[in-house]
Chain A
Amino acid sequence: MANQGPAYYSPYPTAVYEGVITPPEGKALLLTEVVDEEIAMREIAKVMLTSKNATIFPGPQVLYGYNEESKKKAKLIKEMSEVLNANMIPMYDYRPKYPKIDAEVEINPNHPNLTIWHNNIKAAIFIGVHCHYANVALKIVRAETDCYTIAICGLSGHEDAMATLRDMHSHELEKFIKIAKEVKSELKL
């Protein structure tokens, strides 16, 4: 992603219009740069460990995924939040919440900025959110907040996040947790 927010007004230009698209297989994206997965994992861990109110937003694919891989992922996400000293605020579903979202307990892709503003979140991981809703939310977050967004994706990644990892399944999440522990130890946290 070329520029971290806030842009104050509009999600335009989106990353694609600035020439950034999803990383190729085996690679990750840090801002505008395609980098090795491990480099991105270290940077993500560092940002999460050093940012105010770092939060993980788990989405429906891990909250309601009735299969063994989702169960495994869900346990790893819980472990990840402990390693990263991060809060956890779920994205329960994709319906807009009206008349008002309870920003303390949930985030919603149609107005994700409300949750980030309310909780003063400076770094966030989106994981288990269907790609379209993740992209809609990431664009709004970038436009309206100064939150550093991270997308950990099981498919192709998200160029509208400031950092994105792609093809992340339970094995890769285990690797990320291991790296996060190393970074935490290096930072003496």
Chain B
Amino acid sequence: MSKRSDMTETKNWSGQTLVTADHMLFEAPRTKHFMTGSEVLKEAVKRCTVDASVSYPITPQSEAAHLIGELWAEGYVGVYFRGENEFGVMSEVAGCAMAGARTITTTSGPGTLRAMENFAQWSGTRIPCQLILMARGINSPLTIQPDNLEVSYMLETGCQIWYAENVQELFDMSIAAFVVAEKPDVHVPIITVVDGFFVSHTRESVMLPEDDIALFPYDPYKSPLPPIDSETPPGRFLRDPFVMKSNYISYATHASWQWEIRSAVERSVPYAKHFLKGLVHVTGDADAEIAFIACGTASYQAKEANRELTKLGIKTKVIKLRTIRPFPEAELLEALKGVKTAFVPEFNVVGWLAKEVRGALYGKSETEIVGGPRVAGGMSMPAEAILREVMEKINSGKGA
């Protein structure tokens, strides 16, 4: 088993040279590769000095979980094992992280829902673990296809949520995610979302730094809660959980604790801005009166629509949200200046992102928000579907 005691000040247990996240993400030379999202996640984890990973198979994240297991066999990941089911996995992730391990896991769709209670427990215990969520549809009826409805269930768990558009973003985000989640004033879990299959199983060009470097290890003694360590009294959080004796404590304790978790998510903003180069990315025509607000592969399709509309002489811009929690309200408002209509294309039936956008902008922006187009259950979102929405809006009653 690879372990901390095998490390030196400059090398981790597998002999990789330890570097900062700034060096890894912004300075180290990169070379071009051709990989799927699952494969690139393996490459990211390989460079993160990960102490522990727990897995359970469910489509479409099984391959990513399997490849992290290969990293354990190769000596890059400290501990790797399969849980009993997703509830077990997320509980075991909590145990690893509370004990001071940099921990990662992956899941999808029904697996996410099976494990649901744990996500609020993760944030409540201030563990900085990372979940790679390869979004798929939720039963019933059974589907293994891409659909991001499950993200809506995660919105109020107290976890940070980042959304990667493509293979390259998945690589960079999943490295930065550890670093931001482990900041002492943040220190809440982070969920890095990609659309299942569209990213997990699609091979794309990706620029990677060499694999002989890796992040410095996580320092659990900077945790805002004491790690479980019998050498560090009073490690009493689990042995004497106050929630079981809530009739003896101030009503304000639970409320204060919950607001502290949400405050911690907001404290991630300056760090996320640094590593992601902004919480939103805007492309297209700066002076456009029509915008698309999207995340993940929906933003890629919106960029396709932008190209087609440009050919028709219609100016549009794409506002890609890279973080959902924290919700990038200020940056979104800035990007919407001068925009009369904003469309929110989504891969789900409920339009959770449109609801988020409307809630954030209410009373602060005059931009009309159009929730659509929406596709779900594995449907693709051709640029034509987005064009139709736009043309019907600007050419009402005359057809697309």
A interface list, Cβ under 8 A from B:
10-12, 14-17, 21-22, 24, 60, 64, 66, 92-99, 109-111, 113-114, 130-133, 135-137, 139-140, 143-144, 155-157, 159-160
Contact = CB atoms under 8 A, between A and B. Distances in A.
Contact of B184 (A11, A64, A99, A156): A156
B310 interface: no
28 contacts: A11-B255, A16-B263, A17-B263, A21-B270, A64-B232, A93-B233, A93-B236, A94-B234, A95-B234, A95-B236, A98-B245, A98-B249, A111-B253, A113-B250, A130-B223, A130-B224, A131-B184, A132-B225, A135-B224, A135-B263, A136-B256, A137-B256, A139-B252, A139-B259, A139-B260, A144-B252, A155-B184, A155-B222
B204 interface: no
Contact of B259 (A12, A66, A130): A12
Contact of A99 (B237, B248, B250, B253): B248
Nearest to A138: B256
A178 to B, nearest CB: 27
Given A98-B245, A135-B263, A155-B185, A60 B252 contact: no
Nearest to B247: A98
Contact of B224 (A14, A132, A137, A160): A132
Given A111-B250, A136-B260, A22 B126 contact: no
Contact of A140 (B222, B248, B252): B252
B334 interface: no
B267 A21 contact: yes
Interface string B210-243: 0000000000001111100001111011001010
Contacts of A22: 185, 267
Contact-residue size bin, chain B (C-beta under 8 Å from the other chain):
35 or more
Nearest to A64: B233
A11 B259 contact: yes
B249 A15 contact: no
Nearest to A137: B256
Contacts of B237: 94
A164 to B, nearest CB: 11
A136 B257 contact: yes
Given A96-B245, A157-B185, A15 B234 contact: no
B349 to A, nearest CB: 32
A-B pairs with lowest CB-CB distance, top 8: A98-B248, A131-B224, A132-B224, A156-B185, A93-B234, A16-B263, A139-B256, A155-B184
Contacts of A143: 252, 256
